[in-house]
Structure 1
Amino acid sequence: MRRSVVNCVLGIGFFAVAAAFLVARGSPPTGYEASIYAGTPTATWLGLGVAMAVAVAIALLARGLDQAAGIGLGGLSVTAIVALPAVRNYHFSGMGDALTHLGWTRDFLEGAMYPHELFYPGVHGIASALHLAGGIPVERALLLVVVALFVPFVVFVPLVVRDMTGDGAAVGFAAIAAWLVLPINNVATHMGIHTNSNALFLVPAVFFAFVAYSRRRADLEALPFGISPFGLLLLASSVALLLVHPQQMVNVVVVLAAICLVQFVSRRRSGNPAIAGHRTAYAHTLALGGLFVAWSLSNERFRDALSGLFYGLATAGVGAGSEVGQRGSSLSEVGGSLGELFVKLFLVSALIGGVVGLFVLLTWLGRTRVDSESRAFVTYFGAALVPLGAIFLVYFVGTPTMAFRQVGFIFVVITVLAGVALARGVGWLSGLVTTPGATAVAAAALGACLVLALATLFASPFIYTPTQHVTDAQVSGYDSAFEHGSEEIAYAGYGFGVTRYGQGLYGVERDQDRRYRATIAGTVEPDPFEAGAYGEAYPPDRYYLVVTEYDRVREHEVYDELHHSEEGLAELATDPAANELLSNGEVTLYAVEDR
């Protein structure tokens, strides 16, 4: 491509991103948004769409600095999407684990908990530093940490592939694969304040350190005592991963252990000469494995999780099978199906995973035209998928949520391999048609994949889950409800428990005696509630009921009144058993008792 054309196209792309950013920034939400996609102005999506189209074209067609600029444009565009909650000035985002993480951050700042007492203090520590150093509100600091931890993913995936192959086409495809954000599945990994998911985006930095360490000669770029700077980077990045979430650090150790086995066998059987020339990862694997054991066994939370896994493996009826069946039944009642949801959440992942799986198999059979260096790294990461898959099967039987978290890590590895696999696939296709034709087909297919993948990056009614947007009104409403209620009366939620909000407002470790923490389920029972027996819908027979706009949207619109109906809630307002105590438009508090 001519330099003037490339510069002009790139200029349009960067201008589109800037314009999209400014439009989004100038359109903050006025209340609760059921969908961040619908709430974000159309002009923002048009700008980001133009930028992504330019980025895909430049990443595939250009090379050198021009390609790097195109990759940077695409990475910036995807990061802008990830940053939408912060850009559009959400008060907070996330109503489950995110609120608990907010509470832990408050505990850090108030001295109720020290970082070493938490199993994964990385996200909370960074947010605390931003708050203390910059005066940023704690909620916003956490939203910014999500963005900061995402950036290494779009930066290091193409860098890993460049170091593996040196092939410009593979680098371009790797960048596009990273923009798909395949590790997020919205089953157990989420785009938001979710430390297990946030840790996934640091993994490519660890892989880059390993690849660089393996290929660099020991006598070059060495620190004193012959220490490799990339070896230190491998250790440092893994420690950072440990602090963000240890589960993903364990997976890294598993990957390194599989690589060590490949290196050991290859040296004994005179295998790939490139593997024989690589520096081994034996010492790093042992050091990181020992570090994880020392860190985890001293933490009660890890021991409880491990006990829960063993219990799940040993208990009949526990596992993913029953959970999938339950969700499938619920989906059918709201007009959806598991097949539809699979297409939305996993079709792109399945397609990319299929291409990668076929490529790895053909490479092992010697049916692909890759040099020995590239084949070595494909063998490394391909072999690592075997133990990672075995761990997934164990989780699948014992703790289904952990199984889908494992899927998230597996797709980090697949994303790295996808760059090489797609480049070779297009090379094969160009032999059937032409190189421009094969590239055009690949660009169109990947463009369609980008649309579907990014449309499911956040929770939304599109995947039968409303956006977990926490508004100022929700926070003030809950705060008033908690502070002005009687200490003798428990709290219940309308489909969503109140405990998480208590943790987010006041901290997890502080105020342990607050009554909203004593609740078990934390929500009213749908059957007696819908039957008008409001006093019987919660065990104490006398309780406070908190209803938010999020609850109404989820139960009445997204879930299509599967559990709660608008009529049932409307009748509550006129029932003698209930008294409305406060309402600010988004949070309503009722006092309910059996009469």
Structure 2
Amino acid sequence: MTAATARGARTPPRRTETNPERWWTKPLLTVGFLTLTGAILSAKTAPATGYELSLYTATPILFWVGVAIALGGALLVAFVSSVRWVRSLALVLAATAMLSVLGLPFLRDYYFHGTADPMTHLGLAKDLNSGRTSPFGIMYPGIHILAVFISRVVGYPLRRSVLFVTLLFALVYILFVPLCVRLLVSGPRTTTIGVFSALLLLPINHISTHFRVHPFTLTTLYSAFIVFLLLKAFLSEGRYDRRSKRSKPVDTVAGTFVVLAVVLTSVVLFHPQQALNVLILFVTICDIQLLYRVFRSDHPISEHPRLYAPTLFFLGVYALWTTRTSWFYRLADKHLSKIAGYIQGETVAGKQIQAQGDSIAAIGASIPELFVKLFLLSAVYTAITAVIALLSVSHAFDDETTAPQSTRLYLSLSLLPLLMVFLVYFVGSISKMQFRHLGFLMLLATLLGAVGLCVALKRLRHTISLPRSGLLFAVGFALMLVLAIAPLYQSPYIHKQNVQVTEMQMEGYDQAFEHQTNGVPVLGIRMEPTRYADATRGVQWRSERERLYRQTVPFNTLSQLQTTFRSPRYVIVTRLDREREINAYQQLRFSKEEFQAIERQSGINRVMSNGEVQLYYVVDNSTTDDEPP
């Protein structure tokens, strides 16, 4: 046995399957691919014609039936088949089915998908594409550069390229999560469990991470690639020493670390805040390596390639990029002041969550209900992760090789500082940032949770046969996929509205800005018009005109607009606003009667309407002859 083998660098051959192949696996795969093709065509031939409160109900039922058959067939074949290439085809089918769900806004020809932040990112991409700003003028230009590149190479409109970028990052995540799992644990169904764990998309929580043009979320998904490179470097066999005729570890694995350097630079450009999570992961691993080298020199970790040089490089790039502007200092000051407020008793831990809980209760829902819909799967994987982490730290894991144990130990111990960051954000009630960091924690929980499921399946196969154990896991993942897909897009199911942006909305807002008289603010319903101004006119205008678009109508005042304001105002109302307030939020802040009362009020003039957007002018109540401009 060589030193490399003793360290566990080489994975022993997998045990061959002895179960006969089921006759129905290949026909079931054929049916799955055919039905998925029909599902995609049905969605493609039913483009959206206006605003849809729920993407789920507006998408043809044939699409959902086809996706369900494809995923169900892929699950059965992937867990029951004994032929590797058949299982591989099943995994391709499952991944394609999920990507078709993730690509629904693209398939159904949405003009754009994502209000709020995505609108601003579209405006930044437009500014970058037109040359009004440079990449150095954006704090995290990576997503925007990629969207502009795709637009220029492929010829897509920029708004479509931005949507396509989200699919690319989802593909990276779905590809590298199972590859990471393969490096963490061995077994014949490792890839299968890794793929279906990835399809659950646990980093998406709909509070601070969303599957749309949201750089932090997309960077979190991209981080799966970084974790893969880390694990791959640690499992390298090193170089061959001719004198000792043994394989010796090296401090850096050149090829992997060169790629890692490029990837680490890109993650800073994609989003520095998420890059900080990755940096914490790197620093923690360096600390682990140092401690084991000093106190446990006989442990395989002491012979792993050193991560010191890549971490120093990463830290340098991060410092150079973030400290060149005031962004880093403003963010640090905000966080430190919030934490100081908590220590001094001025801030209540979890205040944001408490406020949202009150609103949820007001519309007849409950925190436990939303927890089940949004976090049940995360809780399951977190519980499994806790068990795997404890077993890894205590070195009590029974595995064929020591290499996966060592890499699991890295990830397990790295959870502690990342969890501390999450708790700091939570007790400081720093906006909803704690749920951003929870997204990255769930990436690691997905990997370690998948490891736990692989071990469970291996143990289960000692008790019952492969078809039965595989069928049990297939049913379990089928239920989890239903729970994962149901809240993937915002809808009344989770008491939110679809964030679809129609062409009529964009045109309506653009016309509203054209009609606007200088100095008269434009107010939105719950959402500031500034986001639409970003998307239609770019972001560079903000320093001059931000004051005019930064206001919203106060709650429960639509029926008394003129008495609410002491000076002229424009009020813009969209179909999205009505659907959100009346149906999704169940008239919590604005009622159906209030919307109907707008045009019945004296001093309120409708200036413009295009079917989805109406612009009203609120006359100055100090005079009676004021006319809308």
* TM-score class, shorter: over 0.9
Q: Which residue of 1 aligns with 2:32?
A: 13
- 1:510 paired residue among 541, 544, 547: 541
Cα shift at 1:537: 3.2
CA distance in 2, matches of 1:98, 1:20: 28
- 2:372 paired residue among 321, 336, 343: 343
Paired residues of 1:105 and 1:127 also in contact (CA < 8 A): yes
Superposed, which structure 2 residues align to 1:175-574 within 5 Å? Answer: 175-219=195-239, 228-270=254-296, 273-316=299-342, 317-318=346-347, 321-370=350-399, 371-398=401-428, 399-510=430-541, 512-514=543-545, 517-519=546-548, 522-527=551-556, 529-530=557-558, 532-538=559-565, 541-574=567-600
Q: Which residue of 1 aligns with 2:625?
A: none
Change over 3 Å in CA distance of 1:203–1:350 after alignment to 2: same
Paired residues of 1:534 and 1:593 also in contact (CA < 8 A): no
CA distance in 1, matches of 2:99, 2:523: 37
Q: SS in structure 1 opposite 2:435?
A: helix
Cα shift at 1:469: 0.4
Change over 3 Å in CA distance of 1:495–1:270 after alignment to 2: closer
- 1:24 paired residue among 34, 43, 46: 43
Paired residues of 1:90 and 1:469 also in contact (CA < 8 A): yes
TM-score, normalization by structure 1:
0.94
CA distance in 1, matches of 2:216, 2:437: 10
Cα shift at 1:318: 4.0
Q: SS in structure 2 opposite 1:581?
A: strand
Cα shift at 1:4: 6.3
- Which amino acid letter does the alignment assign opposite residue 41 of structure 1? P
Cα shift at 1:267: 2.5
Cα shift at 1:441: 2.3
Q: SS in structure 1 opposite 2:440?
A: helix
CA distance in 2, matches of 1:108, 1:296: 19
CA distance in 2, matches of 1:67, 1:203: 26
Superposed, which structure 2 residues align to 1:8-87 within 5 Å? Answer: 8-62=27-81, 64-87=84-107
CA distance in 2, matches of 1:369, 1:274: 16
Cα shift at 1:442: 2.1
Q: SS in structure 1 opposite 2:207?
A: coil
Question: Percent of pairs identical after alignment?
Answer: 30
Q: Deviations over 1:405-442 (max 9, x none)?
A: 00000011111112211011223344455544333222
Cα shift at 1:567: 1.0
CA distance in 2, matches of 1:170, 1:22: 32
Q: Deviations over 1:8-42 (max 9, x none)?
A: 33222222222211111111111101111111111
CA distance in 2, matches of 1:335, 1:385: 36
Moved more, 52-61 or 169-178: 52-61
Change over 3 Å in CA distance of 1:226–1:213 after alignment to 2: closer
Paired residues of 1:52 and 1:77 also in contact (CA < 8 A): yes
Cα shift at 1:69: 2.2
Superposed, which structure 2 residues align to 1:97-246 within 5 Å? Answer: 97-219=117-239, 228-246=254-272
CA distance in 1, matches of 2:298, 2:195: 27
CA distance in 2, matches of 1:439, 1:292: 45
Q: SS in structure 1 opposite 2:573?
A: strand
CA distance in 2, matches of 1:526, 1:395: 29
Cα shift at 1:99: 0.5
Cα shift at 1:332: 1.0
Paired residues of 1:213 and 1:228 also in contact (CA < 8 A): no
Paired residues of 1:21 and 1:87 also in contact (CA < 8 A): yes
Cα shift at 1:243: 1.4
Give the structure with higher Rg (CA): 2
Q: Which residue of 1 aligns with 2:8?
A: none
Cα shift at 1:320: 5.1
CA distance in 2, matches of 1:304, 1:3: 61
CA distance in 1, matches of 2:53, 2:607: 26
Cα shift at 1:503: 0.8
- Which amino acid letter does the alignment assign opposite residue 560 of structure 2? A
Moved more, 475-484 or 51-60: 51-60
CA distance in 2, matches of 1:547, 1:534: 13
Change over 3 Å in CA distance of 1:438–1:363 after alignment to 2: farther
Paired residues of 1:250 and 1:289 also in contact (CA < 8 A): no
Change over 3 Å in CA distance of 1:215–1:15 after alignment to 2: same
CA distance in 2, matches of 1:561, 1:164: 49
Q: SS in structure 2 opposite 1:556?
A: helix
CA distance in 1, matches of 2:22, 2:468: 22
CA distance in 2, matches of 1:535, 1:81: 45
Paired residues of 1:312 and 1:319 also in contact (CA < 8 A): no
Q: Deviations over 1:468-514 (max 9, x none)?
A: 00001111111111112212311001222211111111011136423
Q: SS in structure 2 opposite 1:574?
A: coil
Q: SS in structure 2 opposite 1:545?
A: strand
CA distance in 2, matches of 1:511, 1:434: 65
Paired residues of 2:233 and 2:253 also in contact (CA < 8 A): no
CA distance in 2, matches of 1:569, 1:59: 52
Q: Deviations over 1:340-392 (max 9, x none)?
A: 11111000110111112112213333443223112111111111101110111
CA distance in 2, matches of 1:272, 1:183: 36
Q: Which residue of 1 aligns with 2:609?
A: 583
Change over 3 Å in CA distance of 1:320–1:174 after alignment to 2: farther
Root-mean-square deviation over aligned CA pairs = 2.2
Q: Deviations over 1:498-547 (max 9, x none)?
A: 11111111011136423xx21475211124x15x3312434x53101000
Decide which structure has greater helix share: 1
- Which amino acid letter does the alignment assign opposite residue 17 of structure 1? L
CA distance in 2, matches of 1:272, 1:437: 42
Q: Which residue of 1 aligns with 2:244?
A: none
CA distance in 2, matches of 1:83, 1:44: 12
Q: How many equivalent residue pairs? A: 588
